[in-house]
A and B are shown apart, each in its own frame.
Chain A
Amino acid sequence: MRTILSMFAKSPFKPLVNHIDIVNECVNLITPLFNSYKSNDYEEVEKIAKNISNFEHDADKIKDDIRQHLPKSIFLPVDKRDFMHLLSAQDDIADAVEDLAVLVRIKKVNVPDKLCQPLMELVDFVVTLANNACSMIRELEDLLEASFGGSEAEKIEKMASDLGKAEYEADKKQFLLAQKLFSINDLSAADLFLLNELIKKLGGVADQSEKIGKTLRVFLSR
């Protein structure tokens, strides 16, 4: 029998968390991917890249599912467009990680020793940043419960602003790394190009992660 409970449609916020969990799996593979890449373990690189691509595909499926199950008659406590933005922002992180996985498989590159340490530093920094972005989505349920206010809102606000600062830091690190890269003279043009692309994409992961904080701030302001 139909009852009043049919009014409570399935919350799209839970699948949103499921989605970010899978995106987070992608992000967590970045460090092992680069470790194998710099130590020329291409078998492992292939394996990890495949995993990343699988996760990215799973995330896509959830994204499509959420989009399909959000009919016009569903009312959300946030603007539906903002909700969609958030979903896209999450998905863009996974896409950016997949791009990294593609770049490392194009050609075997010997990462210059001089570059190894700062590169891994940037990787760690970006991974931490992206992890923080993911954990913001896990706060959504509490944010709803707190009616977008109180300590929870302050927490989100703080996380978003930290994320913004970290993204700025990542930009700086990315720039310094690029300087180091281009100061190496005996690199082939192809290697130089690929490494530069990799650094740019790492910055891309940071950029996409920051968008999550920005969109959540919009939730708070409305």
Chain B
Amino acid sequence: MDLNTLLMVLAVSACIYMACNIGANDVANAMGTSVGSSSLTFKQAIYIAAIAEFAGAFFVGGHVSDTIRKGMLDPTIFSETPIILVYGMIAALLSAALWLNIASYLGWPVSTTHSIVGAVVGFGIMAGGMDAINWIKVWSVVMSWVVSPLIGGLVAFLLFRFLTNQVFRRRNPLLYAKRILPYMVFLVCVILANAMFYKGLKNLHLNFSFPEAILYSFIVGAIGFFIAKPLSKKISDVPRKEIHKQLEATENIFKYLQITTAFYIAFAHGSNDVANAVGPLAAVFSILNSGTVEMKVAMPTWILALGGGFIVFGLLIWGRRVMETIGKKITEITPSRGFCATFAAATVVLICSKMGLPVSTTHTLVGSVIGVGLARGLPTLNLGIVKEIVMSWLATVPFTALLAAILFKVMLLTIG
């Protein structure tokens, strides 16, 4: 086996390892609220996650990959010895995956995105010094980590306030929930479809312009609307006097909406997080193929499929166990609250991922859950988790950076 084949095998294995970890680590967070509020059984959640994660990864996953592959590093530094970038990307993948594995073992809520970004930056500094890093891009990524939970929180807060006023504070909440249901389905469908049609679906070579994408997503939204409308009419009414039953029936409607958002967040997660595994692999592949560091390379379809496939594999093998425990745990979240938090987080993640900003799905979701809580939506909220998350931030980036730097040096000394 020659060196190039060896490196390619190594890179693919590292990518698979990373993808499995992403599937295992994050899916429980993305689907947790739906299972916790018993809108979905854990099995249903697994199936939805598997389909949506793969779809998100495969159809929309390319944008963030570019950022991780070349956005944060200055490729010209490596143009003379492109093989260094190959070692570095493999080292980054390995160290991020290793860290994720350790963290899930210890039960720390770390971000897969932060892990890979830290690792890439760490190896970059080791290989090319401070100049090798595109600090402006790194800065924008780090800012997106701060901003995405805040915006997720804000959107969730406003959405819940809206539902409070439009549904829950009405004398007949069920009636208003039935009325609002098709519009919410419309909204979810439009955003999802637009994410796919506009600059997505690169792999199917469907390059819609923005107006075209909007048109098609409105068509998809309208289909969703006209499916939901008669269904919502079928839901039987409850007399106004029976407030408890009214509220129960209202929450039942939100169960349907939560199922759509479960799909939505898994899709957003797939589109955002697949890059953490496939970005470095794509870089390795293009260098080994061409022998040079190129600025513009198309993301090979098979790599996206590989990443998406192994995220699903990881969630089926490891994520399953976590989901099963969640299903048995009693949580104080109702479908309407879960819907608000998930919808807000998924929207923010999807938009950021479209902008090429690798954000953390988990952290955004934490932000939006807090948003619902601040809108008086939750019986109680453990804010201690915020501290844990900040700690995991502070730990993740330096750790993976250091580990990637060391692994890179080791590879350089042994193979190079």
Contact = CB atoms under 8 A, between A and B. Distances in A.
A117 interface: no
A75 B380 contact: yes
B267 interface: no
A106 interface: no
Interface residues of A, number: 33
Interface in A1-27: 1-13
Contacts of A116: none
Contacts, number: 125
Interface string B186-221: 000000000000000000000000000000000000
Contact of A151 (B33, B240, B365, B378): B240
B384 A73 contact: yes
A150 to B, nearest CB: 4
A2 B244 contact: no
Nearest to B248: A145
A8 B382 contact: yes
A73 B382 contact: yes
A2 B109 contact: yes
Contacts of A144: 379
A3 B329 CA distance: 12
Nearest to B365: A4
- Residue among A7, A13, A149 with most chain B CB within 10 A: A7
A137 to B, nearest CB: 14
A192 to B, nearest CB: 48
B251 A145 contact: yes
A79 to B, nearest CB: 11
A146 interface: yes
Contact of B377 (A142, A147, A149): A147
A153 B164 CA distance: 13
Interface in A58-73: 71, 73
A76 B381 CA distance: 7
Contact of A7 (B108, B240, B379, B382): B382
Nearest to B242: A151
A1 B362 CA distance: 14
B243 A155 contact: yes
B91 to A, nearest CB: 26
A5 B380 contact: no
B308 to A, nearest CB: 22
B334 interface: yes
A145 B33 contact: no
A77 B379 contact: yes
A20 to B, nearest CB: 16
A74 interface: yes
B55 interface: no
A142 to B, nearest CB: 5
Most chain-A Cβ atoms within 10 A of its Cβ — which of B373, B377, B385, B387?
Answer: B385
Contacts of B332: 8-11
Interface string A33-54: 0000000000000000000000
A69 to B, nearest CB: 10
B107 A142 contact: no
A1 B333 CA distance: 19
17 contacts: A4-B28, A4-B362, A4-B369, A8-B332, A8-B378, A9-B380, A9-B382, A10-B332, A10-B380, A71-B384, A73-B382, A73-B383, A142-B243, A142-B247, A146-B173, A147-B169, A150-B170
Q: Which 7 A-B pairs have the closest CB atoms?
A: A149-B169, A9-B382, A11-B379, A77-B376, A73-B384, A75-B381, A147-B164
